[in-house]
Amino acid sequence: MHILILHGVNLNLFGRRNPKHYGTASLADIVARLDQLAIELGVSTEHFQTNSEAEMITRIHRALDEPVNAVVINAGAWTHYSYALADALDILSIPVVEVHMSNVHAREPFRHESVLARVCVGSICGFGVLSYELGLRAACQLAAEQKPTS
Ligand code: DQA
């Protein structure tokens, strides 16, 4: 089973960015924890981070022709306004799980809406790095349920 983990705009600066909301783990630390969990779960993962919305959408399009079973995405601020990203995710016929480090519902009103939620199976937020770990577990479970039984 192969899970694509997407990290959006500004997330390359985790660890150096507003620790009150995002803690002190860097993106490399998050990737290391998810790699460890992937080994435990017996799945393979690929991480992709970009600050370019166009690059992110192109990466999602590529997944159409790849053996990807599910997607975990933290889209950063794109979450709240990118209909283009929502449309790209909607093209995929595999489960998509939305994750956020911070509790977006306890923050500024513009963060309360996710325009991606419509195309995601569910959303996990507010648990720091654990949000990603729970998201990866959910993605694996959903992908396993989608697999044909024969
Ligand atoms: C975030 C929450 C977003 O509102 C914000 O724009 C981010 C990070 C999170 O992980 O908590 O960049 O996605």
Q: Whose CA is nearest to atom 1 of ligand 1?
A: 76
List pLDDT tens digits, range 45-92: 999 999 999 999 999 999 999 999 999 999 999 999 999 999 999 999
> Does residue 136 have a pLDDT over 70?
yes
What's the whole-number mean pLDDT along residues 117-133?
98
Q: CA–CA distance from 54 to each of 45, 63, 102 (Å)?
A: 22, 15, 25
In the chain, the percentage of residues whose pLDDT exceeds 90 is 97
Distance CA 35, CA 29 (A): 10
Q: Whose CA is nearest to atom 13 of ligand 1?
A: 76
Q: CA–CA distance from 24 to each of 17, 49, 68 (Å)?
A: 8, 18, 30
Cβ(69) – ligand 1 distance below 6 Å:
no
Question: Other CB atoms closer than 10 Å to residue 96's CB: what's the count?
Answer: 22
Candidates 22, 61, 83, 105; catalytic one: 22
The pTM of the full predicted model, rounded to 2 decimals, is 0.96
pLDDT attached to residue 150: 47
